[in-house]
Amino acid sequence: LAQEHNVNRSAEAKDHVKSFLKLLFELEPDENQIKSAYVEASFLGAKEGVNRLYNDLAEKGYYIQMVSGDVHQKLAISASDVVIDMSDSPFKFRASGTQQLIRASTITTRSLVMEGYLISVKRTDRNPHGFSVENFRIAENKDLSTITRMPTELAQ
């Protein structure tokens, strides 16, 4: 059983990173949803790092603008977009994906790259993979394109 557990460890690590990123970067324009996502992310990553990211963005007015602008954030990331060196703990990772910022008038697509480390921790109901993301940083977050959306009534 222990051998089977270790065979799937790489897949679990990739899923853990994907879940963590989705909690941080797939948000709705709802203050309660945003706060709830960050609380959940703090169970998958170092609480101080998650709180630092949240506070930095909050101080810049990012969440207020997101809620008042009715901006929906979607993140596209697959297992192949997550690369983890499982040879030595802590396990270094690099994850890349695309994020869409969906507004009533535009859709902006960004490239998003995050780097950090995973450590093994005890499995819990809130952290079923038994990893914690540490020392993460956003290595890239740049706009790739912005398209103008046509209002439904004008499209016909």
Residues 51-75 have pLDDT tens digits of: 999 999 999 999 999 999 999 999 9
**Cα(117)–Cα(139) distance, rounded to whole angstroms?**
13
Q: For position 122, what pLDDT does the model report?
A: 95
Q: For position 17, what pLDDT does the model report?
A: 97
Token digits of residue 146: 């912005």
Contact by Cβ (8 Å): 79, 95: no
* Largest CA-CA distance found in the chain, in angstroms, rounded: 60
Q: For position 8, what pLDDT does the model report?
A: 87
Q: Kindly tell me if the per-residue pLDDT of 94 is higher than 70.
A: yes
Contact by Cβ (8 Å): 115, 136: yes
- In this structure, what DSSP letter does residue 151 have? P
Token digits of residue 81: 């977009």
Q: For position 13, what pLDDT does the model report?
A: 96
Token digits of residue 32: 């309660």
- Please give the model's pTM, rounded to 2 decimal places: 0.89
Q: How confident is the model at residue 150 (pLDDT cuts 50, 70, 90)?
A: confident
